[in-house]
Chains A and B, each alone.
Chain A
Amino acid sequence: MSPLDKITLVNQVQPWYGEIPVYGQYTFGVAGERFFREIKDNARIMGTVCNSCNLTYVPARLFCERCYNKLESWVDVGTKGRVHTYTVACLNLDGSRISEPIILAMVQIDGTCGGLVHQLGEVTPDKVKIGIPVEAVFKAKAQRTGSILDIKYFRPC
C-alpha cells in the first residue's frame, strides 16, 4: 500500500479528541459595579453625566468617550426608553427552531446616549416598530443577581 492510497477503512483514521480547559471571570469595573448594584438593589437604571459634552451615558461609564473627562455625577434615568433597533430571533443558539420567537432590541433610555441590548416582552413581533416607547420590567428583588437579566424584558408603554 502506497502512502497516498486512499484509506478505505474509516476506522484506520481516527480523530484525536481533546479539550482545552479555559475559565474566565469578568468583573464589571468601577462604573459597571455601581450600575448593576443599583439594578440589583434598587431596580434603578443609572447613568453618568458629562457636563462639558451635555450627555448622559447609559450604561454608566467612568469616563466620557468624547472628551475623556472623568464622570462623577450619577443620575437615575428612569426605566423608559425607545426601541432604537430590533431583530426577531426564530432560532436557538444551536440552530433549532424556537416555538415563540424572541424579539431582541437595543433600547435607548430617554434623554441618554447609548443603549441596552435586551429583549422585548408582552408584545408580538408585528407590533414592534423602531421608535416605539418601552419600559423596563424588573424581576422580583429576591431573584435579582446583579446582571442585565435582572431586567426581565422591556414592554411597550
Chain B
Amino acid sequence: MKYRLLLLIGCLCLGVTFGQEKREWERRIERSEFPDSALELIIPYLDGANKIKFYLERDQDKRSYEVKLKKRRLRYSIEFDQHGVLEDVEVRIREVDIPNESFEAIRSDLGQQFSAYRIRKIQQQYPNINANPQEILKKAFQNLLIPELNYEIIIAGKEAKRYQTYEFLYNAEGGFLNKRIVRPIDKDHVLY
C-alpha cells in the first residue's frame, strides 16, 4: 500500500516540471483554428479526401499552418504562413516518379556528399512564387510536372562515421538548390 502511495506522489510531483522551457514545437489543431483565408482556398480539394489533419507549427517567432490529407492514394501537404498565404504544396512520391535524368543528377550529387545514404522521403514541391495560389493548387492536385517544381528529399546520410538527417532541395532538372539539417524524426523516447 505504501509503495502505491509513494508512486502516486512521485507521478503527481513530476507534473510541476511542465512548460518551464521555451521550445519550438508543432501540434495538431482543429479545423476552426485554421486561418479562414487558407481554409477557403483548400475547401474544394477536401472533397473526396481522407486523413485530413491540421497542424500549427511554431519556430521561435515564426508561425505557419499546415494541412495534410490523402486523396486518390496520394499524400498532400499544404503549407500556409501565419497570415494564411499559401507557401507551397507538397506531394509525397517515390523514386520512380522522378524523371530518370533528374534522378540521376540527384543521385550523383548525393553520392559526392555522403559515403552512404538512405532516402527516407521524397516530396514533389509546388512553391508559390508570385503565382496565383489557386493555380498552384490546381497543378499540384493534377500532379503535373511543371518547370517550377522542386524535389524535397529527406535523407539519412553518413558522414564521418555518424548518421545525420538532412533535407535536400533540388529543382526539376535535379540541380542542387539547398541543404539543411533537420531534427531527427526518430526520437529515442521509446526504448527498444
A, B: real partners: no
